[in-house]
Amino acid sequence: MHMDIVMQAVEEMRLKDPVRFNQLVQEGMALELGIIEPKSGDELTIDRIKASLFPENKEYAAVSQSVLDGKRKVTEKLVKDLLDAGKDPVDVVTHALMPGIQVQCELYDMGKSYVPEILMSNDAMQGGIRLCQVQIGDVPSKGNVASFVAEGDLHDIGKNICAAILKANGFNVIDIGRDVPKEKVLQIVKENNIQLACGSTLMSTTKHGLIDTALLLELQKTGVSVACGGAAVSKAFVSTFNNAMYTKSPLETVKVADGVCNEGKKWEDYR
């Protein structure tokens, strides 16, 4: 990596997360002075991450590994075998397919994998999800959810994964797409009896689109809140405006959607 790219990344981190930046600077100074000992380096190995996220069931773990490896055909065969054996398709999605992509995302955050690997893992997972969806069939919907990426942002991998997991868990999901203005979200909400809008953004420069959308839905008295997620979004950020809640992962989004659509919970309940 060229030094100018490194410096650009450092400057971006300083502006985006000054608290974490200062913490790292202080830790670096402490290490240099010998005040603290360096970490062993094996605290977040791939094996440790897999051990914390992969299922104990060996058949399920094989599916998780095939998703992590980005092997769609292998994933589809393993999932088909599980479904033929009578396994619950929703359980397969949640506890066999999902852990693979979770590990891949953790590795991406650590700089140990890159966008192509995430795309391949996502493709493998989607293949398995489609097989599960066929088995699920036309089950009663748990609720109507809209999914979108904030205006100005074209990154939709996270949105696609979240929408797929919501569908697999029985929700009717209307995918509005990426780079979506708040007016479009409002239109979809009104026309489709939406109960929850799920918005995400990868870039800090487009975070305000989530604020605008949440406040517009509130001003228009739709009764619909926005579940906010994505790399540029944090719980602290979401707490700065009304009519929204923070969801860290697709599975957490599913829990929030279930609470909103089926238990009558409001955004205040998740603050």
Q: For residue 90, how far is the Cα from the chain centroid?
A: 18
CATH of the domain at 175: 3.40.50.280
Greater model confidence, 162 or 111: 162
| 55 part of a folded domain | yes
Asked if 59 and 113 sit in the same domain, the reply is yes
pTM: 0.59
For position 226, what pLDDT does the model report?
98
Looking at the structure, tell me whether residues 165 and 219 fall in a common domain. Answer: yes
Q: What percent of the chain is predicted at pLDDT more than 70? A: 81
Q: Is residue 105 part of a domain?
A: yes
132 and 235 housed in the same domain: no
Q: What CA–CA distance (Å, rounded) separates 107 from 46?
A: 7
> Are residues 64 and 182 part of one domain?
no
Domain that holds residue 162: 144-270
Evaluated on CA atoms 13, 15, 18, 22, the torsion sign reads: positive
- 230 with 256, same domain: the answer is yes
The band of 178, judged by pLDDT with boundaries at 50, 70 and 90, is: very high
Please check whether residues 176 and 112 belong to one and the same domain.
Answer: no
Residue closest to 228 by CA, chosen among 219, 220, 206: 206
Instruction: Go through 2-39 and write b for each residue having 16 or more CB atoms within 10 A of its CB, e for each that does not.
Output: eeeeeeeeeeeeeeeeeeebeeeeeeeeeeeeeeeeee
* Domain-terminating residue out of 115, 136, 157: 136
- 153, containing H or E segment: none
Q: How many domains does the chain have?
A: 2
Least confident of 5-9, 235-239, 261-265: 5-9
Mean pLDDT of 29-44: 45
